Structure 1
């Protein structure tokens, strides 16, 4: 009788502990969203690269309403960048995605959709990330290297999916808070430059699909200021592929 009771308690305890462990494995890696600890303890994940270089990256596109304006501005500045694209958007806008590559920019993966990972779903994450990577590879002609999860939330599921898909997660060291309706070119540039150092990775957005309508114009207006400030400091600006992130081939 006593053995039956003990086994019952063991099963009850396991039933309570296992879901908690699964939830922890899902959520704890997402703590890397905090920029201070990320830069200090995980510089490669933060996108820290060569001290004479700044990586310029854009999230959430491609968007035919706004991405062409960024491509034109980057042409005018003689700067290439990395575009973290959403797989379903690439599928809808193949010609624009091809144009990004044709102009010398790098395509990276921002997921299949721009979703929030509320609950563990490892099988779905692997399947969707693999689909996004395959779509990007078809458009660019090369297998993508980089993965930035939507909202920068790198859960355990997403980390596992990246490893299974052969993608390297990378976040950022400086962002422009360019997704709000109050953002301006001046505010975006000032916010980025306050945190930017040589070797940093900048996060901006080339679309307003996930943010305030029209806010992409603030990021666009900030580009000449940002590039000018970097060059004045003796820093080159380019894509992650040229950034010499730790462990990069």
Structure 2
């Protein structure tokens, strides 16, 4: 990156963080928010792979005949590469969530670029698939990351509804209700298939809620699938 571009990134680091505010991004940045084609819902999972949660989730999705998009953490892929590869072997999509789960507005441009580069290369090597999507940790980007994502041909994408499935108090019912509260045609669901950066075994609530989420989507006439089918 040339000096002028580096200086610009350093000066404007916090600016894209405003997109993390859900109502603002849905209104002014619908593509970034994950608003896709009517009649379709994108199903996405963050923070994996996980040695217990991810295999159980893959089994559940296989039984339901559903494909999804998984935003992986590089450090978890390094630890469980076989599970990361199992995701792509099952026909699911891969996205980048970073190498470390860091709030990007608290780190500098060079560290930001290094993290995204390392994550992308690690995930590509382990899964055999070149990621198309990138979701920043906590849904908060910075200018350096946006520039680097563009260089790596990664499309930034957030979500329209999430399950709050990372807390110690979450239950299958609370996750289901949280998702359904804002789910509509063209929405993107965010869930988590790990507890790497969350309450221990919180992913059990996600697994318990997912069958009801998929059943309700079908009842509403919504197709569920990965981001590549979402018309973005």
Return the TM-score normalized by structure 2: 0.92
* Aligned residue in 2 for 1:51: 38
Q: Which residue of 2 aligns with 1:11?
A: none
Inter-partner Cα distance in structure 2 for 1:22 and 1:143: 26
What is the aligned partner in structure 1 of residue 231 from structure 2?
A: 244
- 1:191-210 to 2 correspondence within 5 Å? 191-210=178-197
Deviation at 1:126, TM superposition (A): 1.6
- 8 Å Cα contact 1:179/1:208 also seen in 2: yes
Partner of 2:124: 137
Contact 1:122 1:161 survives alignment (8 Å): no
Give the TM-score taking structure 1 as reference length: 0.86
Match of 1:64 in 2: 51
Other-structure match for 2:218: 231
Moved more, 204-213 or 153-162: 153-162
Q: Distance in 1 between matches of 2:10 and 2:24?
A: 21
Instruction: Report the equivalent of 2:198.
Output: 211
Q: Distance in 2 between matches of 1:242 and 1:111?
A: 23
Give the stretch that moved more between structures: 219-228 or 158-167. Answer: 158-167
Superposition pairs of residues 166-177 of structure 1, within 5 angstroms: 166-177=153-164
CA contact (8 A) 2:39 2:186 kept: yes
Structure 2 residue matching 1:203: 3-state secondary structure: strand
Matched, 1:187 2:174: yes
Residue 67 of structure 2 aligns with which residue?
80
Q: Is the 8 A contact 1:180 1:215 kept in 2?
A: yes
- Cross-structure match for 2:81: 94
List alignment gaps of at least 5 residues for structure 1. Answer: 1-20
Q: Alignment partner for residue 101 of structure 2, among 106, 114, 121? A: 114
Q: Using the TM superposition, name which of 125-134 and 60-69 deviates more.
A: 125-134
- The one of 3, 6, 12 equivalent to 1:25 is 12
Structure 1 CA distance for aligned equivalents of residues 75 and 50 of structure 2 = 11
Q: Which has the larger radius of gyration?
A: 1
Contact 1:61 1:89 in 2 (8 A): yes
The equivalent residue for 1:39 is 26
Q: CA distance change for structure 1 residues 22 and 106 in 2, over 3 Å: closer, same or farther?
A: closer
Q: Secondary structure at 2:185's aligned position in 1? A: coil
Q: Aligned pair 1:125/2:108, yes or no?
A: no
1:164 to 1:123, Cα distance in 2 relative to 1, 3 A:
farther
Deviations 1:198-246 (A, max 9, x none): 110000000111111111111111101110011111111111111111x
What SS does structure 2 have at the residue aligned with 1:209?
coil
* Over 3 Å off, 4+ runs: 21-24
For residues 138 and 151 of structure 1, the distance between their equivalents in structure 2, rounded to whole angstroms, comes to 25
* Preserved contact between residue 39 and residue 48 of structure 1 (Cα < 8 Å): yes
